[in-house]
Amino acid sequence: MKNRKTGVLITGILMGVVALLWMIPIYFMTINTFKPLKEVIFSTAAFPRSFYFGNIVEVWKNANYFGLLVNSVIITACSIGAIVLLASMSGYHLSRTGGRISAIILSYLILTLIIPFQAIMIPLVKTMRDLAMTNTRWGLVLVYIAFGSPMAIFLYQGYIKSIPRSMEESAVLDGAGPLQTYFSIIFPLLTPMTSTVIILQSLFIWNDFLLPLITLQSEGKKTIPLGIAGKFFGQYAFKWNLGITSMLLASLPMLLLYAFMQRFIIGGVMKGAVKG
Amino acid sequence: MTVSRKNRIGTKESVFGHIWWVAPLFVGPILIVYTVLFMFPFLQGVYYSCTDWTAIAPTYKFLGLQNFKEMFTLDDYFINSLNRTFFIALINVIFTNILAMLFAVALTTSFRYNNAWRAAIFLPNVISMVVSGFIWKFMFSEILPKLGELSGIAFLTKGWLSDPNIVIYSIVIISVWWGLGYIMTIYIAGLQGIDSAIIEAADIDGCTAWQSFFKIKLPSMLPIVAVGIFLNISGSLKIFDTIYSLTAGGPGKASEVAMLNIYREAFVYNRMGYGNAKAVVLTIIIVIITLVQMKITSGKVDEK
C-alpha cells in the first residue's frame, strides 16, 4: 500500500514537470510581450527588467485589434447560435421519425465526416462568389453552418433518444403545437448536449484560419487569426516584440475563457468523444 | 461507430407526423444550406478536377484524366509534398498517441493536482494553429538558440527552421504539443469509463499495474483508441495553418506539405482545376483511411 502511494506521488510530480514543459512557449510569449524590441532581441529568455506596455498599445491601435475581436465574436456567435438551433431541431425530428427517409438523410449528412474540407475548398470559393457570399461575414457564417451542423445533428440525435416520448405526448394533449412543444419542452432538456456542441464548435470556428483566408479580403471583415497573421507577415516580419505581442493578444480571449471554464471545456470534449 | 446508429433509430412515428410543415421546417434549412455549400461544391470539384479551369480564363475545357497523369508523372513537388505529409503524419501519430495514452494513465491516479496538469497539457488546443506556428517560430528562432547558448547544450542551437532535414521534426514537435491534449482528454474519458470493479478485482488477484493496463484497460479502450488515432491521422494529413505561419513551406520546399501545395496551385498560381485534382487525390486517401477506421471501430463495438 505504501509502495502504491509513493508511485502515485512520483507520477504526479513527473506529470507536473510535463505540464510545465507544455507551458514553456506560453511563458516566453507572455514575458516577451512586456519588453521593448532591444530587450526582446538581446535578452530573449530573461524575465523583463520592467513591465513595458508600448507593444500592447501599438498592436491594439495598429492591427485594429478591437475590430478583429468584434468580427470574430459576431461570426462565432452567429454560427454557433444557428448551428444549435437548426441542428437540434433536425436532430430531434430525425430521431423521432425514424424510418427509411431519416436514415437516408442521416447518411447524406454523414458525408461531411468523411469528405475533408480540402475536397470542396476550391469550388466552394466559386459557389460563394456566384452567390455574392465572398468577403461577407454572413457568407462565412452560412459555410460554418453547413460544416458544423452534421456533427451537431449526430450528437443531438443520439441524445434525444434518451428523452422519453411521453414528454411531448403530454404536451400535445395539453394542446401545444410542434414549435411550442419543441421550444418549451424538448430544447431545455437538451442543455447538456447543447453545451458540448457550443464548446466543440467554438474551438473550431473561433480558431479557424483557412476558410477566412480564402473568403475574406477586406481588412474590416477579418477575424482575429486572419487579421493578426496578415499583420505578422507584413509589417511585423522582423519586429519580434510586436509579433509576439499580437500572438498573445490573438490568443487572449480564448485563454481567458479557458481560465474560467477549463473544467467545463475539457468536460465537453470528453462527452463529445464518448458519444461520437 | 456511425453505421450501427442506423438500426437504433426508432420506427415509431413522430407525434407531429401528420402535420405537413413539420418536417420541412425542422430538417429543411440544414438540408438546403448543406446541399448548396457542401454537396454541390464537392460534386463540382470532382468535375473541375478533370478540366483546365483557371480563375483567369473565361472558359475551360474537359481534359479527362490528364491532370492526374501530370500530377503523378511530372509534378515532383506535389509527390514530394505528399510523401512529406505521410511522413509527418506517421511520426506525429506514433508520438502523440503513445504519449497521450501514457499521460492519460498517469493522470487518472489519485494525485491531487492531476486536473491542473491536464488543463495545462490541453491548453494549446484553445490557441489557433496559425498562432501556434508563430509562437513556435519565435521559440525555434529566438528562444531555443538563446537557451542553448546560456546552458551550453549544443542540441538546442540546431537550425530548427533553416535545416531542411530538421524542419520536419520541428513541425512534429508543434503538432504533438498542439494536438496531444485533445487525444489525451479522449483517452482519459475512456479510462474513466472502464468499470472500476473489474480493475479492483484484478488488483485483489495480484495483477501488476503493467498487467492491468495491457490485459484490461487497453483492450476495453480499443474503440476509443481507434477514434483517437483516426482524428490524429486525418488532422495530420490536412496540416496547413501551422506550416503556413511557421515556415511557409521553407527552407526551399523542405516543409511544403500537400495542403500547402494545393493551396498555392489553386490560389497563388490560379490553376484551380489542377489544384482540385490534387485535392481529390488527397481526399481519396483520407476517405480510404476513414472507411478502414470506421470498419475497424464498428467491428470492435459489435464484438462487445
Q: Rounded to whole angstroms, how far apart are CA atoms A135 and A218?
A: 7
Amino acid identity at A129: R
Confidence of residue B297 (pLDDT cuts 50, 70, 90): low
pLDDT digit string (tens) for B83-108?
999 999 999 999 999 999 999 999 98
The answer to whether A234 and A162 have CB atoms below 8 angstroms apart is no
The answer to whether A30 and B143 have CB atoms below 8 angstroms apart is no
The answer to whether B127 and A23 have CB atoms below 8 angstroms apart is no
DSSP string, B82-145: HHHHHHHHHHHHHHHHHHHHHHHHHTTSS-TTHHHHHHHHHGGGGS-HHHHHHHHHHIIIIIHH
pLDDT digit string (tens) for B45-73?
888 888 888 877 777 888 878 888 888 88
> What's the mean pLDDT when you consider all of chain A?
86
CB atoms within 10 A of CB B165: 9
Tell me, what DSSP letter sits at residue B14?
P
Residues of chain A numbered 124-183 and touching chain B (CB < 8 Å): 124, 126-128, 131, 142-143, 145-147, 149-150, 153-154, 157-158, 161, 165, 168-169, 172, 178-179, 181-182
Give the best-scoring range by mean pLDDT among A105-109, B250-254, B288-292: A105-109
**pLDDT score for B4:** 41
How many cross-chain Cβ pairs, A to B, lie less than 8 Å apart? 300
Residue B254 has pLDDT above 60, yes or no: yes
Element spanning B265, H or E: helix B258-267
Tell me how far apart the terminal alpha carbons of chain B are, to the nearest angstrom.
13
Q: How close B64 gets to chain A, by Cα (Å)?
A: 18
Residue B136 has which C-alpha cell? 513556435
Name the residue among B213, B190, B230 with its Cα closest to residue B93.
Answer: B230
> What's the mean pLDDT when you consider all of chain B?
84
Backbone φ and ψ of B51, nearest 5° = -130, 170
Q: Which of B12, B20, B26 to mutate to test the interface with A (most CBs of A within 10 A)?
A: B26
Residues recorded for chain A: 276
Residue B154 has which C-alpha cell? 549544443
Backbone φ and ψ of B158, nearest 5° = -55, 160
**pLDDT score for A76:** 94
Mean pLDDT computed over B10-17: 59
pLDDT digit string (tens) for B117-136?
999 999 999 998 988 998 99
At a CB cut-off of 8 Å and minimum separation 6, what does B5 contact?
A: A106, A154, A157, A158
**pLDDT score for A89:** 92
